[in-house]
Structure 1
Amino acid sequence: MCCKKCMLTAHTSLPLHLVKEWTGTHWLRKSLKDLGLVIQLGHPSGESCYLPKAPHSDDFVIINGNGIHAVTLRFCGCKFADSHIQQLLRYRLFPASTDKPRTAATFSVMEEFHLLSLESKVSAHHYYSALARRGNNVGLSPPKDRYEQFMHIVREWRHLKMLKRSGRGHHPSGVDMTQEGECAIHCPACPHPGINLPDDWMNVCNDKRWLYALFVAIDANFHLKRRAVSKDAVDPSLSNGWAYFVEELSYKQYLTKHSDTRQEKSLCSSHGAVNDADTKSSVGLAATGTGSICCARHEMKLPRGVGDLQKGERYVNMDYIFFSALKDTTLNRFNVSYDIVCQWSRHLWERMKTLPPSHHFTHVEKQVILFVPKFHLPAHVAECQWKYSFNYIKGAARTDGEAPERGWSTLNAVASSTKEMGPGHRRDTLDDLIGDSNWKKLIGLGESILRKLKEAVPERNEHQEDLLEFERSLEARYGEQLARWRADVEAWEKDMSKPNLFEVKSKSVTQAAVRLQLAQEESDQVESSIHVDISPSVLISTGIDLEEQQRRLRVDAEKHGSHGTEHQKMRLQQRTNSLLRRIETWVSVQMLYMPAVASLRVRGAADPAMAPKPQDLPLLLPSALHRQVPCDGRLEEIEWRLRFGQAHDALEELRQALHSRTYMLRFKDRFLRGQGANTRARNCLRSVDVKVNGAAAKYRAAHNALLELSPLLGKDGWKGTLRRLENNDIRSMTEGTDERSSEGRRRLSWIWIMCGYTEGTSTRTEDDSEDLQDAIRIEWYKTRARTHRWAEEVELLVEEQRRVLKFLHWQSKWWLDRQALMTVDDPALQQGLKAYAIRQATLMEDLAMQFQRMWNDTERYIMLADGHSDGVEMD
């Protein structure tokens, strides 16, 4: 507590503090302005200006961390005084205008808001409201509204920070000569010719060229919408194409010129991104989303690689953004990942010719390899899963292509606030957020690469052991074939225009095919049939069908139970009566072909009160008799063949249902929002789960029948193809046995491996089926591919470590060269330019040293893992 005079003296250097006055009964908030405090710029506080009439402002508003304050501020009016803007900046106040400013924000509050907006994604409106309440939370004397001015300050602050950090303040050509993408943060781990690649990188042998490929991923985000408010003429961007967004004028001109171009429909799965691009609703929206190109391995957005989408994910938008991000590059290989790459790549080079000449890409001289991200791949048709998989193509390492999806999570948090912004403000804000995301990825490369390396080395060794064990087991049975398979896959890796070796070409056995074959065989034996209309194969196949109807009725009866509606109970009773009549008709014919089962039925019907329901009635097919009574061997053979086909049918149904469930889950997570839509999606998923369970039950019934019949008929070798189905086996292609089991480390469920198998034998003979060999060949290819991808991952991570260090050293030298790039007359400014450049150069060197320390034991770790432990010790 002190008097008014002492209070003013104590706050000559703290003019924005909050003070309270004792009224005699309570404390009352008081402003230092009311006490007579004047903020003097250009001179020490309290020192008079040389001019008797120094300009001042009684209604100047300063926004700081303590609130929003109206102050009395006096500018220096001396002859050699700086401009009002310079005086405010030297006092660490950022003005809202360059023309007679009446509002400013402290540097400290701008630094705080900037950091909070990047980390917690707080909006400027919410932050400003919090500051207003901090100064006065009652509303009796609200501060002057300076929200619009605060928004101006925010935009300029972000823009100037970006220019400063990209070195534009050190360039003699000034800000106006900034080139497209020049203010973006580049990925140090990606290849940059002339910066972090060896001098002879273009002359390396073919087996090593994959090391110098650029991995890029393409994707669109429909959360980042923008309403049709304002326009570019009213709200232009301050950095027009200088960072991550493409240059807007050229982009819009190209889109306008090709606005009538129709999108080709998908020839793959029904991809909404392709088929709905022209029909996607854009009512009230200036942008329905955002497309981007990013580094697929390190999740950093590429310069000039982001653009707005006006009407869905149209090729005309994505083409421009893609070629904008890759123009001027001199690399020779590009691994391009896109969730609809199978459709987007069709006629890509023809569409490229419609782009501006600056965006043309000499694809004939370069190698462009196309991929579908791993999570999205199961939603594609089988051909795409063989053709565009990261797991099968040489040089892909352990890249998954899902980098854009992870990157969108950062930007989605600001979707609600950027949705209401004008076009320029929104682009500047997103540029700032993307730049911060790239910076955090950059400084985190040390830990991320080290973590990946620690994971990749043991995985590589484990998969190498698996491959060797697999090949040893194949040598005795498929020695000659194995050598041919190895030569074929090595030739395909050198020339991927050849037919894809991972394609399953054999046809699966189906129950319908077996029925047709049996009918053709029985066509010559019509006269020997006991029944005129029903042959033995029809009898057994009908019995198997009735068995399937019993399973379905049993499931539905358990689902409805005693809580079903009257209508459901009525339909269930009708189905029960119908099934009972069919079974009775079938049993009457069964007695003609299998008279011995009559005694078993008599014993089962001893107590009429305990008669089972139709869905529980035993049909007593040959596999259920266990040779308790005589049975025609021809009927057993027929059932065996039908059950064998039924098992393959059930596996195919199970695979299709699991495939559908994977696609529906992905669609639900990506596109559906709200309780209603998610409830409908869950209902659809439940129906798919019913199909999965039904197909599993059907397979198990067929498998049990095969187990009963095989010893009776002397069948052997089929158990290696049609295995016992455990609950853990029922999983999609992308699922492993646990949460850690991704494609590279997972063990594929045998239901996918056995696709295309037919009946084989237990030992290799000249009569081994081609389908069996084909399935074994493909599984060996996959095992080999997994091993090679992990080995490539280790090699590529070591190369990325080298590239990061090389890039940081180059960046340090680049900043040191900026010291003498521009000469100014003001010695203080010249010293400031030099100090900032040296500081940035030191920062790059410090980062390089930190990464180097983290990676110090990498070489020894790999040598130990490789078994070269002589003289090598690990701390």
Structure 2
Amino acid sequence: MSLTTNPNLEYDNVDPEEINHCVGFAALWSANTRRSKGLRATGIGSVSCARSDMFRANGIGDLQKGEQYANMDYIFLSSIMATSLFLVTITYDIACQWYRNFFTRMTQLPSALQLSSRVDLRFRIPKFHLAAHKESCHAPFSLNYTKWVGRTDGEGVERMWSWLNKVSHSVSMMGQGGRQDTLDDFCNFWNWRKTVNLGDSLLKKMTLAIPQAAIHHQAFRAFTDGLHEQHSEELLEWENQVRAWELDHDQPCPFGLPRDDLTMSDLKKEMAEEEHRRVQRGEALPGDTSPSNFIITGLDIEAAQQELLVTASKHDLTTNTYMPGLADYIKEKGYEESTSSPELIELFLPSFFASTQRDLICQQGLPEFENRLRFAQATEALAHLRRQLRTHSFANSYKTRNAHSQGAYTRSRLLQNQIEVRIKAVRAQYDISRRSLLSLRGPGDWENTLKVLRAEDIRGINERTLNEEEQEEYRRARLLAGMSEETVEGELHGLGTTSGQENIPTVAFNRSLALGEGLRVEWVKARARAERWREEVLLLEEEMRRSIAYCEWKAMYWDNAATTRSRPPESNDLALFEGVRAYAYRQASYERRRVVMWKRQWAAIQERATLVLTTQLGQGDILRNNQAMLIAPPLVVELDLSDNEMEGMEDGDVEVGDVDT
């Protein structure tokens, strides 16, 4: 598996400008920071198959100074040059940076490593690593939104490293030849173990994929049916938008909610630049600190006061528990509550004073700094509140579906309590910011954007009360998804109903957000989940077919190897001839036995996969596809995976980093 020494090491090093586009993973920074003097190699890089978790031929090479682009380009291209694929999906934890000048760097490599222009490369980031990247990387580099990757997570190489790293101390002391031979042996053993365990691993993955594909297909169709009657135009618009984005990522992305234009960090940077320009013009500051820093410090103290007030209130409740006689003692001694508590100290920012007093007390221009910062603070708090409400809705849905035991319910309730504490804190921050803005600006059009928050507004999208019409629409969509009437009625009881007179919450659910942005995002994500699970079934079905076809071909290969060798005339070579032929026949027998075993092991699940694909998961436009739900008898599948066989393998029940599913 190992490569010989890369003869092209001098062609490029890490470009310092290229390591600043996104996150600073250790893989990239180590290229400039590792001490490599006197070392033949500081590590190894590898290329593996993301579907089967196997090391690729010519897919391992030495790294002289961390994961330099020169090394990784050479290893990757050496690994795929022998293939005849026209579409290659590449997952790499720094793909968002590595791909930028990849084709330019490739032109500096030998002609034998030049890819054809007909090969289409798609660069993606493994699911677990994607969360650490900037938000702008999430949708374009997500495997969840990439066609024809199924449920591949791209983290297989990390599972392989966790196993191969055990030999690192041994091989680090070896010579070059012995080290490469040892790595070859270990990588070949890994691949062989994965190969002989394909019968169980593919069966396990298919057993998970079929019901998940059916569930997500039905859920998406029910979601679509629930919107189709009254919002068919929006559905067609969303479908066209997501199709256009899948073809060209420069088109508007349908998977993300619009980012608020103004944040505190952006405004702080803007104010710092303004003050820097004033200093360059020779305008002196009135004190040791700038006006904006004076207001920012006050806002930071205000936030700390709110946090301290919550902590002090909790401590007071605990005090009454452990010191029940303290209240009587304080009353008897006549102690008064201290007004010098830090959480109660008034900061006297410009918004504290009336407009007539403000001009006399504050330096000219200071109220405007607070005005700008308060508006950014309120806008950011409102966006944060929406995120927390969506998180609360998800936690509530998760508790409803999964918390069937007392312990699970307690843990879910604890999570919801933590979210509710954050919601209260953010709501308090918003109220303070809005009151300050009202004092600074007075009534005006800005109140149409930053409205007064009422208690009934602080609800998640699935926690608002429903009127009778909405209740019936919700019931019909859930029944179409295959849920029982008892379950639907239980959910409706949790949501609640109204006579239609109660106001809809203005924070987490309103018509423009739900249909314009929020529902669109949920709909395209549901569409992506349904498509990825359907693709997973198709890919697994093809992988099973190819595994059997390969073993049948390999058996014929060994048969030919046994018969093409001619019988030697000298008797001295007869023993070798017989031994080679016996070995070839035995290998052919192994391959045929594996074919028989896999066919028997996969027959039932393959039949079920074909049935589901042809009757329920057809390749039709789901907006116009009205196939009936498949009703089939239960299928019992035996899985035989020992602990050793499971080591290093993907756990199909858990998709790391994918909260949506």
Q: TM-score when scaled to structure 1? A: 0.48
Aligned twin of 2:336 = 609
SS in 2 for 1:491: helix
Decide whether the 8 Å contact of 1:548 with 1:698 is kept in 2.
no
Q: 1:860 to 1:872 in 2, by over 3 A?
A: farther
1:436 CA displacement: 0.4
Whether 1:351 aligns to 2:105 is yes
Whether 1:461 aligns to 2:214 is yes
Aligned twin of 2:65 = 311
Aligned twin of 2:586 = 839
Whether 1:340 aligns to 2:67 is no
SS in 1 for 2:143: coil
Percent of pairs identical after alignment?
A: 33
Tell me, in whole angstroms, the C-alpha distance in 2 between the residues paired with 1:457 and 1:794.
Answer: 6
Aligned twin of 1:397 = 150
SS in 2 for 1:413: helix
Tell me, in whole angstroms, the C-alpha distance in 2 between the residues paired with 1:791 and 1:618.
Answer: 60
Tell me, in whole angstroms, the C-alpha distance in 2 between the residues paired with 1:809 and 1:472.
Answer: 46
Tell me, in whole angstroms, the C-alpha distance in 2 between the residues paired with 1:809 and 1:385.
Answer: 42
Instruction: Give the partner amino acid of 1:490.
Output: R
SS in 2 for 1:276: helix
Deviations 1:189-223 (A, max 9, x none): xxxxxxxxxxxxxxxxxxxxxxxxxxxxxxxxxxx
Deviations 1:342-385 (A, max 9, x none): 111111112112222221111x2122111100010011111111
Q: 1:869 to 1:409 in 2, by over 3 A?
A: same
Query: Aligned ranges for residues 61-210 of structure 1 at < 5 Å?
Result: none
Decide whether the 8 Å contact of 1:512 with 1:645 is kept in 2.
no
Q: 1:613 to 1:784 in 2, by over 3 A?
A: farther
2:303 to 543, 548, 566: 548
Tell me, in whole angstroms, the C-alpha distance in 2 between the residues paired with 1:435 and 1:427.
Answer: 12
Tell me, in whole angstroms, the C-alpha distance in 2 between the residues paired with 1:868 and 1:465.
Answer: 8
Tell me, in whole angstroms, the C-alpha distance in 2 between the residues paired with 1:719 and 1:272.
Answer: 41
Query: Aligned ranges for residues 373-522 of structure 1 at < 5 Å?
Result: 373-475=126-228, 478-496=231-249, 498-507=251-260
Q: 1:501 to 1:607 in 2, by over 3 A?
A: same
Tell me, in whole angstroms, the C-alpha distance in 2 between the residues paired with 1:762 and 1:869.
Answer: 34
Q: 1:300 to 1:763 in 2, by over 3 A?
A: closer
Decide whether the 8 Å contact of 2:260 with 2:380 is kept in 1.
no
Q: 1:467 to 1:821 in 2, by over 3 A?
A: same
Aligned twin of 1:116 = none
Deviations 1:544-587 (A, max 9, x none): 876523134458989999xxxxxxxxxxxxxxxxxxxxxxxxxx
1:390 CA displacement: 0.3
SS in 1 for 2:517: helix
Aligned twin of 1:300 = 54
Tell me, in whole angstroms, the C-alpha distance in 2 between the residues paired with 1:259 and 1:456.
Answer: 43
Tell me, in whole angstroms, the C-alpha distance in 1 between the residues paired with 2:123 and 2:266.
Answer: 37
Aligned twin of 2:370 = none
Tell me, in whole angstroms, the C-alpha distance in 2 between the residues paired with 1:287 and 1:511.
Answer: 46
Q: 1:431 to 1:383 in 2, by over 3 A?
A: same
Tell me, in whole angstroms, the C-alpha distance in 2 between the residues paired with 1:419 and 1:558.
Answer: 58
1:466 CA displacement: 2.6
1:785 CA displacement: 0.7
Instruction: Give the partner amino acid of 1:406.
Output: R
SS in 2 for 1:414: helix
Structure 2: state its 5+ residue gaps.
Answer: 269-294, 317-330, 347-373, 390-417, 436-446, 464-504, 617-627, 637-661
Q: 1:549 to 1:846 in 2, by over 3 A?
A: same
Instruction: Give the partner amino acid of 2:62.
Output: D
SS in 1 for 2:33: coil
Tell me, in whole angstroms, the C-alpha distance in 1 between the residues paired with 2:8 and 2:56.
Answer: 21
Tell me, in whole angstroms, the C-alpha distance in 2 between the residues paired with 1:406 and 1:351.
Answer: 29
Decide whether the 8 Å contact of 1:864 with 1:872 is kept in 2.
no
Decide whether the 8 Å contact of 2:263 with 2:377 is kept in 1.
no
1:494 CA displacement: 3.9
Instruction: Give the partner amino acid of 2:581.
Output: K
Instruction: Please identify, of 458-467 and 364-373, the stretch whose mean Cα deviation from structure 2 is larger.
Output: 458-467
Deviations 1:814-864 (A, max 9, x none): 111111343362222221111111111111111121111110101343337
Tell me, in whole angstroms, the C-alpha distance in 1 between the residues paired with 2:33 and 2:265.
Answer: 41
Q: 1:813 to 1:786 in 2, by over 3 A?
A: same
Tell me, in whole angstroms, the C-alpha distance in 2 between the residues paired with 1:272 and 1:331.
Answer: 31
Q: 1:322 to 1:641 in 2, by over 3 A?
A: closer
Tell me, in whole angstroms, the C-alpha distance in 2 between the residues paired with 1:329 and 1:699.
Answer: 55
Decide whether the 8 Å contact of 1:299 with 1:403 is kept in 2.
yes
1:275 CA displacement: 3.4
SS in 2 for 1:307: strand
Tell me, in whole angstroms, the C-alpha distance in 2 between the residues paired with 1:810 and 1:618.
Answer: 82
Tell me, in whole angstroms, the C-alpha distance in 1 between the residues paired with 2:72 and 2:267.
Answer: 49
Aligned twin of 1:320 = 74
Aligned twin of 1:805 = 548
SS in 1 for 2:45: strand
Q: 1:491 to 1:851 in 2, by over 3 A?
A: same
2:381 to 647, 651, 654: 647
Tell me, in whole angstroms, the C-alpha distance in 2 between the residues paired with 1:870 and 1:473.
Answer: 22
Higher RCO (C-alpha 8 Å, min separation 6): 2
1:423 CA displacement: 0.8
Decide whether the 8 Å contact of 1:291 with 1:318 is kept in 2.
yes
Tell me, in whole angstroms, the C-alpha distance in 1 between the residues paired with 2:596 and 2:26.
Answer: 48
Decide whether the 8 Å contact of 2:238 with 2:254 is kept in 1.
no
Decide whether the 8 Å contact of 2:228 with 2:235 is kept in 1.
yes
Tell me, in whole angstroms, the C-alpha distance in 1 between the residues paired with 2:376 and 2:249.
Answer: 40
Aligned twin of 1:247 = 4
1:328 CA displacement: 2.6
Instruction: Give the partner amino acid of 1:452.
Output: K
Structure with bigger strand share is 1
Aligned twin of 1:289 = 43
Instruction: Give the partner amino acid of 1:839.
Output: R
Instruction: Please identify, of 392-401 and 349-358, the stretch whose mean Cα deviation from structure 2 is larger.
Output: 349-358
Q: 1:316 to 1:449 in 2, by over 3 A?
A: same
SS in 1 for 2:22: coil
Tell me, in whole angstroms, the C-alpha distance in 2 between the residues paired with 1:713 and 1:279.
Answer: 52
Q: 1:424 to 1:610 in 2, by over 3 A?
A: same
1:276 CA displacement: 3.5
Aligned twin of 2:577 = 830
Deviations 1:583-630 (A, max 9, x none): xxxxxxxxxxxxxxxxxxxxx9x96534466255499xxxxxxxxxxx
Tell me, in whole angstroms, the C-alpha distance in 1 between the residues paired with 2:560 and 2:431.
Answer: 78
Aligned twin of 2:560 = 817
Query: Aligned ranges for residues 856-871 of structure 1 at < 5 Å?
Result: 856-862=603-609, 863=611, 866=616
Instruction: Give the partner amino acid of 1:609.
Output: E
Structure 1: state its 5+ residue gaps.
Answer: 1-243, 516-539, 562-603, 620-639, 656-690, 725-757
Aligned twin of 1:777 = 520
Instruction: Give the partner amino acid of 1:336.
Output: I
1:318 CA displacement: 0.6
SS in 1 for 2:336: helix
Tell me, in whole angstroms, the C-alpha distance in 1 between the residues paired with 2:548 and 2:179.
Answer: 34
SS in 2 for 1:813: helix
Q: 1:817 to 1:279 in 2, by over 3 A?
A: same
Alignment RMSD, CA only? 4.5
Instruction: Give the partner amino acid of 1:500.
Output: C
Decide whether the 8 Å contact of 1:265 with 1:275 is kept in 2.
no
Instruction: Give the partner amino acid of 2:159.
Output: R
Deviations 1:61-109 (A, max 9, x none): xxxxxxxxxxxxxxxxxxxxxxxxxxxxxxxxxxxxxxxxxxxxxxxxx
Decide whether the 8 Å contact of 2:13 with 2:70 is kept in 1.
no
Q: 1:542 to 1:328 in 2, by over 3 A?
A: closer
1:699 to 426, 429, 432: 426
Tell me, in whole angstroms, the C-alpha distance in 1 between the residues paired with 2:13 and 2:300.
Answer: 54
Decide whether the 8 Å contact of 1:277 with 1:311 is kept in 2.
yes
Query: Aligned ranges for residues 670-685 of structure 1 at < 5 Å?
Result: none
